[in-house]
Amino acid sequence: MSLMDRVERAQQRAGASAAEAPVVAAPPPAPIPELSPDQFAKRGELLHEFRLRLQDEVMGTFSTLLDVANPAELRAKVAVIVERTALAHGFAVTGAEREGLINELTDEIGGLGPLDALLLDESVTEIMVNGPSHVYIERAGKIHRVDSHFLNDEHVLRIIDRIITPLGRRIDAASPRVDARLPDGSRVNAVIEPLSLVGPVITVRKFPAKPVMVDDLIRFGTATPEMFDFLRACVEARLNVFVSGGTGSGKTTTLNVLSSFIPEEERIVTIEDAAELQLHQVHLVTLESRPPNIEGEGEITIRDLLRNALHMRPDRIIVGECRGGEALDMLQAMTTGQDGSLSTGHANTPSDMLRRLETMILMTGYELPLRAIREQISSAVDLIVHTARLKDGSRKIMNITEVFGIDDDEILMQDIFTFEQTGIHEGKVQGSLTPTGIRPTFMGRFKASGIELPPGEFGIPAEDLAKPTRAGKRGRWSGAEAEALADVSRPAVGQGRAVTAGGMVYVSSIGPIDPETGVMSSEIKAQTRQCLDNLKMKLEAAGSSLDKVVWANWSLRDPAEFEAFNEEWVRAFPGDAPVGQGTILPPLQRRAGFRVSIGVIAEA
């Protein structure tokens, strides 16, 4: 029988089998038990050579095979190629090996080759290809090596091209890295030479076919139902939230769940490098950045999209991840009408997240003073939700931390909830997210937003007005809105004390808090006027007055604000002003949000 006759008979046999039975993925070729280890190794080398021959054959007819839409017909054509190559080069293969090779080639032509089986495995959460011969997966938070491989570097490159070409992206020596996504939303990163020294590298962060919901995270032990109820209230009250954590700690999954708490009627704009957020609200606009083309033109960055989003009338902006100068635009959006916005960032702790924000803002190239940067952060960010992947592979919310002010150029934070580990049971970390006993300054925001908290308020302690609090004034909650937040703790400093002795009245430092409302302005001039009003009342109660002041001491937070302070001081003492001196505000008054305080000596 001639070679052509044998090929024709093989084609008829393959076509008949494809028509009679549905296309079912065959199991991978099983090892031949009667072979010794050395013989089995030689068998593997033989099959590898056969695969390389098949690769050449497929590449010669690749464009024709791509036009085949029917899976059964494609499988039949691939079976012919396998049979023809085996006959032409004298390869003897078993039936199981033959079926395995047909499956590999079919996946290679119509899918993503060795990645297809791993992508279909729902237990796999991440796929890592380190060159053609080393493939790893993450399953249940643990990394394992799998018995999958590519033929060579060119094979891996073809799979990368198949992923990125439909997205209009490219990878080559001039642009050796790329971020992309699969049709199911899974995130893909690829790196090639000269950046990678081990061959082409692919990392796939898989997205589950069914989006992870709150109930799923509760079942996984990420946090308790009460904690998610608290976070839901924070999102509905339009607090600005950053989700921080290390690589693979569950930041994006947590951000997805937090985003699901946004009311349906609000307009949401999401901005990402590679779209992976899975929001289900109807009024949603999804924006994706674009790398430069081969001429180096046409790039659209996250910063460009953020600026454009401000012209799209968003109620909330969600940035998948802040990595650079876009952090400044994100913070400005949070403080200019898009409150309730969310984003993520890589960091090991909540305090590290704030330091990273500072660094990212400096990456813009603007020569901003560090204090201005920190004031911007403290007035924009309300809450940091910190996630982590523990040693047992589980992912937990470790901290819910409030950012509440700034003191001596240091951003002030306090943990509202922290994860307390209680032990390890059967290799699993045990513990829960519990309240720290600190009441956040934004609790009044819930009442102002009409949000009813459950009895016990998630274990947060009740307000104690008589107890001093280290939480200073937040610019975000100042002004008219602060009047609605009746349960924000009032600072217990700045009330002053008057002592009469030797015909003189000595008044210790008077702060700028309105004694009736407890409200304090953020402006230096307004604070100075309030200090003088409070001083006048204190002197009159002691039988004296402003015109009897003979000596004064004023303390300023920033000496550069003296001119503004002095304008109000001169108005209060239009004639000869009393002798006095200036000092720097003590730390306690700084924490209370004061910009000025005044103490005097007056005639009784």
Domain assignment present for residue 484? The answer is no
- The more confidently predicted of residues 25 and 521 is 521
Highest mean pLDDT out of 11-15, 138-142, 443-447, 533-537:
533-537
Rounded average pLDDT over 239-262: 92
Which residue is it, tokens 């993925």? Answer: 25
Rounded average pLDDT over 11-15: 47
Rounded average pLDDT over 292-313: 86
Task: Give yes or no for residue 67 having a pLDDT over 70.
Answer: no
In a shared domain, residues 95 and 143: no
Q: What percent of the chain has pLDDT over 90?
A: 30
Look at residue 119 in the predicted model and tell me its pLDDT: 87
Rounded average pLDDT over 120-127: 88
Highest mean pLDDT out of 208-222, 232-246, 506-520:
232-246
In a shared domain, residues 151 and 238: no
Across 174-188, 251-265, 372-386, least confident range: 174-188
Across 98-112, 162-176, 445-459, least confident range: 98-112
Q: How far apart are the first and last CA of the chain?
A: 127
In a shared domain, residues 168 and 230: no
Q: What is the C-alpha to C-alpha distance for residues 100 and 106, in angstroms, rounded to an integer?
A: 10
Look at residue 268 in the predicted model and tell me its pLDDT: 93
Distances (CA, A) of 154 to 56, 151, 200, 202: 12, 8, 9, 13
Q: How confident is the model at residue 488 (pLDDT cuts 50, 70, 90)?
A: very low
14 contact partners, CB below 8 Å, separation of at least 6: 75, 76, 79, 80, 83
- Nearest partner of 473 among 440, 414, 520, judged by Cα: 520
CATH number at residue 129: 3.30.450.370
Which residues on adjacent β-strands are paired with residue 411?
A: 406
Domain assignment present for residue 515? The answer is yes
Q: How confident is the model at residue 68 (pLDDT cuts 50, 70, 90)?
A: low
Look at residue 109 in the predicted model and tell me its pLDDT: 66
- Nearest partner of 518 among 469, 564, 447, judged by Cα: 469
Q: What is the C-alpha to C-alpha distance for residues 184 and 172, in angstroms, rounded to an integer?
A: 25
In a shared domain, residues 270 and 352: yes
In a shared domain, residues 411 and 275: yes
Q: What is the C-alpha to C-alpha distance for residues 295 and 175, in angstroms, rounded to an integer?
A: 11
Burial string for 244-275 (b: 16+ CB within 10 Å, else e) reads bbbebbbbbbbbbbbbbbbeeeebbbbbbbbb
DSSP letter, residue 459: G
- The more confidently predicted of residues 9 and 412 is 412
- Nearest partner of 438 among 456, 462, 411, judged by Cα: 462
Look at residue 364 in the predicted model and tell me its pLDDT: 85
Which residues on adjacent β-strands are paired with residue 598?
A: 510, 554
Domain assignment present for residue 9? The answer is yes
> Which of 150, 180, 205 is the last residue before a domain boundary?
205
- Would you tell me how many other CB atoms lie within 10 Å of the CB of residue 74? 20
- The more confidently predicted of residues 220 and 19 is 220
Look at residue 259 in the predicted model and tell me its pLDDT: 93
Look at residue 527 in the predicted model and tell me its pLDDT: 92
Domain assignment present for residue 478? The answer is no
In a shared domain, residues 56 and 171: no
Domain assignment present for residue 142? The answer is yes
Rounded average pLDDT over 533-550: 92
Look at residue 232 in the predicted model and tell me its pLDDT: 94
pLDDT, tens only, 161-197: 888 888 888 888 888 999 888 888 788 999 999 999 9
> Which of 52, 77, 110 is the last residue before a domain boundary?
110
- Phi/psi for 603 (5° steps) reads -75, 140
**What predicted TM-score, i.e. pTM, was given to this entire model?**
0.63
In a shared domain, residues 226 and 271: yes
Domain assignment present for residue 586? The answer is yes
Look at residue 497 in the predicted model and tell me its pLDDT: 86
Residue 218 structural domain: 214-438
Look at residue 69 in the predicted model and tell me its pLDDT: 53
In a shared domain, residues 345 and 307: yes
In a shared domain, residues 255 and 321: yes
- Provide the domain count of the chain: 4
Q: Which residue type occupies 410?
A: E
Look at residue 445 in the predicted model and tell me its pLDDT: 86
- The more confidently predicted of residues 131 and 488 is 131
Look at residue 482 in the predicted model and tell me its pLDDT: 39
Task: Give yes or no for residue 602 having a pLDDT over 50.
Answer: yes
CATH number at residue 598: 3.30.1330.40
Q: What percent of the chain has pLDDT over 70?
A: 84
Rounded average pLDDT over 9-31: 46
What's the 3-state SS for 46-104? HHHHHHHHHHHHHHHCHHHHHCCCCHHHHHHHHHHHHHHHHHHHCCCCCHHHHHHHHHH
Phi-psi region of 518 (alpha: psi -120 to 50; beta: other; left: phi over 0): left
> Which of 419, 438, 457 is the last residue before a domain boundary?
438
Look at residue 568 in the predicted model and tell me its pLDDT: 92
Across 134-138, 214-218, 245-249, 471-475, least confident range: 471-475
Look at residue 475 in the predicted model and tell me its pLDDT: 43
Look at residue 444 in the predicted model and tell me its pLDDT: 84
Rounded average pLDDT over 71-87: 75
In a shared domain, residues 266 and 154: no
Helices (H), 335-417: 350-362, 370-380
In a shared domain, residues 102 and 142: no
Domain assignment present for residue 445? The answer is no
Q: How confident is the model at residue 104 (pLDDT cuts 50, 70, 90)?
A: confident
The whole-chain average pLDDT of the chain stands at 81
Domain assignment present for residue 472? The answer is no
In a shared domain, residues 136 and 54: no
